[in-house]
Amino acid sequence: MSETNLQDWVGRTSTAFETADGERAARLATLLGHDGDPAAPLFPLGHWLHFSEDDVPMSDLGADGHTALGGFMPPVPLPRRMGAGSKLEFHAPILPGQTIERTTTIESITEKTGSTGPLCFVVLRHEITADGKPATTDRHTIVYREATSVPEGSAAKPPRPDSLAPEGWDWTRSVRPNEVMLFRYSALTFNSHRIHYDHPYVTEVEGYPGLVTHGPLTATLLLDAFKSTHPEAAVTGYRFTAKSPLFANEQIHLVGRETEPGVHELQAVAPGGKTAIAATVVTKS
């Protein structure tokens, strides 16, 4: 795929420090429709509000709004990037005001050929501590692919029509992220990827029909729906895989069911019934 040996990047590490921000966490709660409490422990995925990859000078950003490759991240010669999922373990809550340290290791780089052409999967292992004690382990997978051929003009299409919620689940919640929610989530996470806010770019350059709903936002909505229906459950693990993209103003059905004691299957279901995100939640027995 490339004359550069991408495997030279495997094992590289980077460490960053921040202070857990209760105000930022409260804004996430507001985004999710709750009363935000700046003194409350961070949402289990609250570390995503910190350590933004795009927190670099403007000159260090690529054309898509993300940090240009070739520094800490390997110079993958594929221009399109999407999050493929994460596997998280929660060791202890993060409290506002704690010093949080994230050590990131490039765990693996795997090049493959899929139905759409060459792909490259990069797995990052994030070890997060709070005041020196283990808090969260997050193995995050990023996939890079070739650019899509976009017909002259724009690939813009209206949102897909709503469909009925799937049956056979213990609980169901429906949400409809719009442009404002996508903007606010990008602002909270300092995510400058243009597919989430730049309609001409996402439809005319990347070939999507509309603004792409952040995978982490959908994963957050899904876990929040689980926690709302299981308020006493102590979540110790969360694993999710992105299957297909979702777009602004589309209805998403969030569903879940217990498959065995302490293990729950979750899905974010796109219009038409296709699974957009498949997830598993593990709770303390």
- We report the CATH number of the domain holding residue 120 as 3.10.129.10
- The reply to whether 117 and 153 lie within a common domain is no
On the question of pLDDT at 1 being above 60, the answer is: no
Q: Output the pLDDT for position 89.
A: 98
The number of distinct structural domains making up the chain is 2
- Residue at a domain's end among 130, 147, 164: 147
pLDDT-derived band at 65, boundaries 50, 70, 90: very high
Final residue of a domain: which of 147, 171, 191?
Answer: 147
Both tokens of residue 1?
Answer: 């795929």
Is the domain of 64 the same as that of 94? yes
State the chain's mean pLDDT as an integer: 95
Give the pLDDT band of residue 116 (cuts 50, 70, 90): confident
- CA separation for the pair 22, 130 (Å, rounded): 14
142 and 204, same domain (yes or no): no
* 165 and 141 fall within a common domain: no
Query: Are residue 2 and residue 118 in the same domain, yes or no?
Result: yes
Same domain, 113 and 184: no
pLDDT for 3 beyond 70: no
- Do 117 and 241 lie in one domain? The reply is no
CA distance 196 to 211: 5
* % residues pLDDT > 90 (the chain): 91
Q: In sequence order, what are the beta bridge partners of 86?
A: 140, 240
Structural domain range at position 42: 1-147
Q: In this predicted model, what pLDDT tens digit does every residue of 149-164 receive, in sequence order?
A: 887 889 999 999 999 9
| Residue 151 pLDDT | 78
Q: Both 263 and 247 in a single domain?
A: yes
114 and 155 co-located in one domain = no
Q: How far apart are CA 126 and CA 15, in angstroms?
A: 9
Q: Which residues does 167 contact at the CB level (< 8 Å), separation at least 6? A: none
Are the C-beta atoms of residues 204 and 153 closer than 8 Å to each other?
yes
Tell whether the model's pLDDT for residue 19 goes beyond 80: yes
Is the domain of 159 the same as that of 224? yes
